[in-house]
Each structure stands twice: as structure tokens, then as C-alpha cells.
Amino acid sequence: MPVQYYIFLSIALFCIGIMGVLMRRNAIIIFMCIELMLNAVNLLLVAFSKMWVDAGRIDAAAAQLFVFFVMVVAAAEVSVGLAIIVMMYRNTHSVDINILSRLKN
């Protein structure tokens, strides 16, 4: 199976994530779209890892470890980001990013 299929799938998922960030106003949905983009990149890394294994490279595990680190950073980011969104919601009773963009009050 050509690895181009995986490249196109990742591009499609990444662009759907970008469209979501640009189109929606709900801060939580925007957060989820960022997760979607991270996952598109993860999928491409795993596909390239498999491609390297089939090409006979022995150090192909590095790509899968990169995916692992991306997951670690995403988990940390989500915990802090959701805490910030909850705090904003307590102050303004909204998760609309136009209200959040004022930052004061």
C-alpha cells in the first residue's frame, strides 16, 4: 500500500482541524480541533516509521517515540488549557473566544 494514502489522510485531517479553528467560536471546540491536528501529525509519523521498518532501517522506533512525546505534551497542554477555560467561564459565563479575547474583567 503506498504511503501516499496515509499522507493524504493526514492532510485531510489536518485541514479539517484548521477549518474548525477558523470557523468555530467555542473555545473548547477550538481546543479539540488542535488535538485533531496533533493526531494527524501523529498518524503520519507512525506511517513513516512503518515505512522505514520496511526499508530496513533499524532506528525506526524513534518516530514512534516522537508520537509518545507529542501525546505527553498534548496531555499537559489540555490540563492547563481546560483549567484556564474553566476559570474564564467562571468570570464571564461564556466560552466565546471574542469575549475571552479581552482578557481583562
Q: Smallest distance from the beta carbon of 86 to another protein, in angstroms?
A: 6
Q: Smallest distance from the beta carbon of 62 to another protein, in angstroms?
A: 7
Which grid coordinates are listed for 60? 525506526
